Amino acid sequence: MPKIKCEFSKVPEGYICEIKNQYDFYEEQITFYGKHKGKKQNSDVIGLNFSDCSFMILPLNIAEIFPNLKYLSFHDCVGLESIRKKHLEKLTNLTHLYIVKCGLLKLSGDLLKGLKNLESVSFSDNKLTEIDPTIFDGLENLKNVNLLYNANISTSCITELGENVENIKKEIRLKCQPKITAEKSVQTDITNKLMQLKDEENDKNLNFLKFEVKQLKISINEKEQQIATLSAKQSEHEKIKKGMQKIMDENKELKTSLQAHEILADNQRVRIQDLMILLSKNNQTMKELETLKNENKNLRLTIMDRETLVKNQRQELSILLAKQSKQDQIIKDARKATDENLKLKSCLKKEGTIVDNQRKTIRRLLDEKQKNKSFNNVTKILNDPAFKDFTFNVGKSSFKVHKILFAARSETLAEIFKNNPDAQELNFKDIPEETFKAVYDFVYTNQLPGDIDHVKVFAAAIRLKINDLCDETALQLLDKVDEKNALEILELSNKFVHEQLRQKAFEIIQRKIFPDRILPRDLIKQPENVRKLIELKKKMDEEYEKCCNKLKVLK
């Protein structure tokens, strides 16, 4: 939208705005910029004056910028050959309208419709050739109309305008200057039309119109005297023909120069239009650059998040390396101790203490044998169905277990056993048999089978509150997160808070499901909202596919 520089000032009539030597009127919507006086603002402006301006398009939003405008003036402006109702209809408070020296060619009948407060108009010193006689209809407050110095107005046009002035019977001061012709019937016709305005309510107006007619008569007489004087001086003019010829030659040169300037002006207009197109393209480019900036900003945020993740992984790796270093040191110390033991044994052999060491070794072996025998007895007891005192019914299978062992590993089962001490069995209808079998094996062996559904085992471990099993399955799931199970894992990792697994699941959702969008980081703790987003995206993709299929059918 073009910005037009303006100057604000205070005059006796009120607060006005002036625009001089401006050429940026190439759109229907414009804005004005300038420094107001004191605490004044646009709503205080009652007068707007354009001078020495060039218009490609006359603005439509003047009334929106200056809502209380009463005086509007265009003086020495280029590009106003035609002005329409839409340019003035919103200026309902307008009382004075002046369009002077602007090359105006035509006044349509609806130009001033709706401007009921209009008191004075001037279209003087233009190139008017046609005026609709109904142009002033309905303007109850109109008092002055100035059409002077429009040399191309026809006699018939003024006659029709005079008849309409008679018909509306308003006290309108009409100033006009028709073509001067050899026929004096023009004067008589205008006089007759104006003399017909005899009404008791319009005496003052008739007297003024008669005065205007007298003025027209005097003007015509003066023109006739000038013609006589010119004919008397014709002989003198012949003496200066040579000088006139020079002037004519100069005029030809001036015309040639003017034509060249007009061609240059046309070229400049074309160049301005090209510049406007280029400016529009530049604006579009700026918008695209802004979009790219936003995308780059989002990419930076994603990179920062990934850098944070990498940093955390590096820290974990450094911790693992430190642990590995400690283990290496322990191995070195063990080897060193072994070497020392060998040396010590050698010394003991030399000192005759071999028998004592053998005795100690025999005792140690006997102790270990006794321990192994006790452990084997415990294992036999655990595997013996006779000592299993509780039953889990899962699907079509039943699992005999040691109640105390499961109560020790599971907080949920411990609470159930505590509340129902006499219960002998418990049914799990919604846990698959393979999943419970993996839980069963882990409780007894502290190890997971290889071929299991880790997501279901993780969910069962969270439900039964077996924390060791939760940690183990979460670690194994880190390498098994994909597009299909990422949402379920995100939900589970929010129930049993495992930050590393939660971040991995959210990253997969971002990269695989929403590759073109940057999801807010807060959603990592809101899996229910992530599920809604995924369902909404799925519906949109389905609708898009349906539309594409319909378009293919139409083609």
Half-sphere exposure of 121 (CA within 13 A, CB side): 20
Task: Provide the pLDDT confidence category of residue 361 given band limits of 50, 70 and 90.
Answer: low
CB of 147 within 8 A of CB of 104?
no
Last residue of a domain, one of 368, 383, 398: 383
Find which of 130-134, 324-328, 359-363 is predicted with most confidence, using mean pLDDT.
Answer: 130-134
DSSP 463-529: HHT-HHHHHHHHHHHTTT--TTTHHHHHHHHHHTT-HHHHHHHHHHIIIII-TTS---GGGGG-HHH
Query: CA-to-CA distance for 447 and 462, rounded, in angstroms?
Result: 17
Query: If DSSP codes are grouped into helix, strand and coil, which group holds residue 5?
Result: strand
Name which of 84, 197, 174, 177 is nearest 120 in CA terms: 174
- In this structure, the answer to whether residues 220 and 200 fall within a common structural domain is yes
DSSP string, 195-257: HT---GGGHHHHHHHHHHHHHHHHHHHHHHHHHHHHHHTHHHHHHTHHHHHHHHHHHHHHHHH
Closest by CA position to 118, among listed 102, 103, 101, 140: 140
Residues 412 and 362 in one domain: no
Give the chain's count of helices (H) and strands (E).
Answer: 15, 15
Q: Judge whether 85 lies within some domain.
A: yes
**Is-contact 528 488, C-beta < 8 A?**
no
Domain-terminating residue out of 173, 206, 234: 234
Going from the C-alpha of 442 to that of each of 280, 402, 470, the distances in angstroms are 70, 14, 11
Q: Residue for token digits 């001036």?
A: 254
- In a domain, residue 139? The reply is yes
- When mean pLDDT is compared over 168-172, 232-236, 380-384, 468-472, the highest value belongs to 468-472
- Same domain for 394 and 379: no
- Assign 44 a pLDDT band (cuts: 50, 70, 90): very high
**Residue 324 covered by a domain:** no
- Residue 532's CATH number: 3.30.710.10
Statement to judge: residues 370 and 427 lie in one domain: no
Rounded to whole angstroms, the Cα distance separating 90 from 65 reads: 11
> Which residue do the tokens 């480019």 mark?
285
Each residue of 139-188: pLDDT tens digit? 889 988 888 888 777 666 666 666 665 454 444 555 665 544 444 444 44
CA nearest neighbour of 147 among 164, 118, 127: 127
Residues 22 and 158 in one domain: yes
**Are residues 1 and 27 in contact, defined by beta-carbon separation less than 8 angstroms?**
yes
User: So what's the pLDDT on residue 47?
Assistant: 95
CA neighbours within 13 Å on the CB side: how many for 42?
A: 11
Task: List CB contacts of 131: < 8 A, sequence separation 6 or more.
Answer: 106, 107, 147, 153, 157, 161
Residue 242 lies in a domain: no
Q: Give the count of domains, the chain.
A: 3
**293 found inside a domain:** no
Domain that holds residue 368: 358-383
**Amino acid letter at 112?**
L
Same domain, 133 and 103: yes
Q: Do residues 459 and 490 touch, judged by C-beta distance below 8 A?
A: no
Same domain, 372 and 471: no
- Say whether both 436 and 365 belong to one domain: no
| Position 362 pLDDT exceeds 70 | no
Sheet strands side by side (includes 397-401): 397-401, 390-394, 425-428
Residue after which a domain boundary falls, among 234, 249, 277: 234
Element (H, E) at 98: strand 96-100
Helix (H, G, I), strand (E, B) or coil at 138: coil
Q: Token match 């089962």: residue? A: 413
Structure tokens belonging to residue 400 = 């005999």
Give the CATH number, domain containing residue 14. 3.80.10.10
Query: What is d(CA 429, CA 431) in angstroms, rounded to the nearest whole number?
Result: 6
Higher pLDDT, 250 or 484: 484
State the average pLDDT over residues 40-64.
90
Q: Is residue 87 part of a domain?
A: yes
Crossing angle between the packed helical segments 499-508 and 486-495, to the nearest 10 degrees = 150
**Domain membership flag for residue 70:** yes
* Contacts by residues 233-237 (CB-CB < 8 Å, ≥ 24 positions apart): none
Residues 222 and 362 in one domain: no
pLDDT above 70 for 201: no
pLDDT band at 114 (very low <50, low <70, confident <90, very high): confident
At residue 8, the pLDDT reads 94
Asked which of 66-75, 86-95, 232-241, 521-530 is least confident by mean pLDDT, the reply is 232-241
Give residue-wise pLDDT tens across range 288-340. Answer: 888 888 887 887 888 788 778 878 877 877 787 777 777 778 767 767 776 77
Question: Would you place residue 466 in the very low, low, confident or very high pLDDT band (cuts 50, 70, 90)?
Answer: very high
User: Hey, what's the torsion of the CAs at 44, 47, 53, 58, to 10 degrees?
Assistant: 80
CA distances from 491 to 77, 389, 411 (A): 72, 35, 21
* Cα–Cα distance list, 477 to 219, 482, 502 (Å): 106, 10, 11
Confidence of residue 119 (pLDDT cuts 50, 70, 90): very high
For residues 362 and 460, state if they share a domain: no
Domain-located, residue 368: yes
What Cα–Cα distance (Å) separates residue 50 from each residue in 129, 136, 334?
A: 24, 24, 100
459 shares its domain with 372:
no
264, containing H or E segment: helix 241-351
- Do 364 and 438 share a domain, yes or no? no
Please state the pTM of the whole predicted model.
0.36
Beta bridge pairs of residue 398? 393
